Amino acid sequence: MVAKITVPHSITRALNYNEKKMKEGKAECIHAHNYLKDAGQLNYYEKLQGFQQLISLNDRANTNTIHISLNFDITEKLEKEKLTEIAVVYMQKIGFGEQPFLVYRHKDAGHPHIHIISTNIKKDGKRISIHNIGRNQSTQARKEIENIYQLVKAENHKQKKYEEIRPLSLQKVLYGKAETKQGITNVLNEIIGKYKYTSLAELNAILRLYNVTADRGSEQGMIYKKRGLVYRVLDEKGNKIGVPIKASSIYNKPTLKFLEQKFITNESLRQPDKKKLKTSIDWIMVKPPKSLQQFKEALQKEKISLVVRQNDKGIIYGLTYIDHTTKCVFNGSDIGKEYSSKAILEKCGQTQSFSLQETIHDKKISIKRNKSTVLDPAPDLKKDLSKTIEIIINPAEEFSYVPYDLKKRKKKK
């Protein structure tokens, strides 16, 4: 059993966190200690009032809330009643047996765990000291509970965790089936140091094969501005789910700074592998497949994964090749024009339909990227475009004449 203790700024914040999980169907309040009603009969305000009555007795206390999570091994199957019993015994052993507290069972991770929230303000207004409570009272209570209930010990759990970092076969991370951080660590440990990628996009092309992605967040967000990086689990549709894991908290420290150094190193290391990849693709294209899917399946037989990059409207704009034999990653355009998405789609006999608005938008982007390139607009648009250009280049003269009678006259003194 692993116990983690935090001290939030307010009881409202701790309560809202757990109640939000309940609304999302990811948690359940299984016990209300020293409340007049059972957990299932209490509403949000009754839960909050049970704490606020005591907190109001001591206005001078800077800290008045404690939030505890008790985490159990993935192999342990603990029923609601057993989790409640363990929570009550634990709280008694750390000196909170007479306090009101709420116990929530969470279902948002692969391992069983509960959250407990309480206040350290007693009925007489005095505080329960929480200084070094994690190192002293909590550690002692944890060890006693592990022996009483025959739980996997925290020391053994940590040792087992590091042993499992190197799995015999790499598998996809399935959210809720395994511990999120452990699953991500397993994938990163097999990929970060072994594959040759030269950008975050290329790394993500590999990681997505195992339902993991490296995320810098939005450009306006604090993570991006501070050059941070988090790793997240993806569902089968590629949507981000679960709690993000900071790169700095992972065992092998795959931070953005570390990856950028790998990008530079990998650029030269992957060059000798380009020829083999081109040969494999050329061999398949001797008799071109009839579709992109057939091309993808043919590459898989050569132990090459094809990641298709497309926009929200399903338009394919790029291909990424991942050779699992040489452990190299290349975008199609980096190998050569004949290996780009446009060339491969043409060889496979596939065409993409663009709407008129998308065509004009793409042409504008092409003009911005290469001002020396002259594009021939669609025939139906030539007249309208020429008129528009003529109006812009040669605007008609305008006169802002105001009749003399309407001009404002100065008043005589």
Query: What percent of the chain clears pLDDT 90, i.e. is strictly above it?
Result: 44
Report phi then psi at 20, rounded to 5: -65, -40
Q: Which of 122-126, 286-290, 372-376 has the lowest mean pLDDT?
A: 372-376
CA distance 330 to 274: 8
Give the Cα separation of 159 and 292 in Å (integer).
46
- What average pLDDT does the structure give for the chain? 82
C-alpha triplet 280, 281, 283: angle, nearest 5°: 65
Separation between Cα atoms, residue 15 and residue 208, nearest integer Å: 35
Note the pLDDT tens digit of each residue in 70-80: 998 888 888 99
Tell me the two tokens of residue 314.
Answer: 């399903």
CA torsion sign, 46 to 51 to 57 to 63? Answer: negative
Residue 162, pLDDT > 50, answer no
Q: Is it the case that residue 366 has pLDDT exceeding 60?
A: no
Write the burial class of residue 371 (CB in 10 Å: 0-12 exposed, 13-18 middle, 19+ buried): exposed
Q: Give the burial class of 288: count Cβ atoms within 10 A of its Cβ; 0-12 exposed, 13-18 middle, 19 or more buried.
A: middle
The answer, yes or no, to whether residue 357 has pLDDT greater than 80, is: no
Residue range 386-412: mean pLDDT, rounded: 54
**What does the pLDDT average to over 60-73?**
91
Asked if the model's pLDDT at residue 152 lies above 50, the reply is yes
What integer pLDDT is reported at residue 160 of this predicted model? 47
Whether 258 contacts 193, CB under 8 Å: no
For residues 378 and 274, give the distance between their C-alpha atoms in angstroms, rounded to a whole number.
Answer: 38
Q: Give the contacts of 133 (CB within 8 A, at least 6 positions apart).
A: 5, 66, 94
Quick one: average pLDDT of 205-218?
90
Query: Please, is 328 exposed, middle or buried when counting C-beta atoms within 10 Å of its C-beta (0-12, 13-18, 19+)?
Result: buried
What is the residue extent of each domain of the chain? 2-159, 180-269
DSSP 41: G
Q: What is the band of 159 on the pLDDT scale with cuts at 50, 70, 90?
A: very low
Q: Residue 270: left (phi > 0), alpha (psi -120 to 50), or beta?
A: alpha
Identify the band that residue 392 occupies on the pLDDT scale cut at 50, 70 and 90: low
- Higher pLDDT residue, 327 or 407? 327
Q: Look up residue 235 and give its two tokens.
A: 């569902």
- Nearest residue to 230 via CA among 259, 262, 205: 259
- Evaluate whether 108 touches 27 at the Cβ level (below 8 Å): yes
**The pLDDT value given to residue 351:** 75
Residues paired with residue 43 on neighbouring β-strands, in sequence order? none
Give the mean model confidence (pLDDT) for residues 169-189: 68
**HSE-CB for 124 with a 13 A CA cutoff:** 4
**Residues 325, 303 contacting (CB under 8 angstroms):** yes
2-159 under CATH 3.30.930.30, yes or no: yes
**Extended strands (E) in 38-197:** 66-71, 101-106, 113-118
Instruction: Please give the pLDDT value at position 266.
Output: 92
Taking phi over 0 as left and psi of -120 to 50 as alpha, with beta for the rest, 406 belongs to alpha
CA distance 364 to 385: 12
307: helix, coil or strand?
strand
Residue type, 27: A
DSSP class of 375: P
pLDDT bracket for residue 353 (50, 70, 90):
low
What does the pLDDT read at residue 241? 83
pLDDT band at 243 (very low <50, low <70, confident <90, very high): confident
3-state secondary structure of 125: coil
| Amino acid letter, 360 | I
Report pLDDT for 157: 55
Element (H, E) at 258: helix 256-269
Dihedral class, residue 215 (left if φ above 0, else alpha if ψ from -120 to 50, else beta) = beta
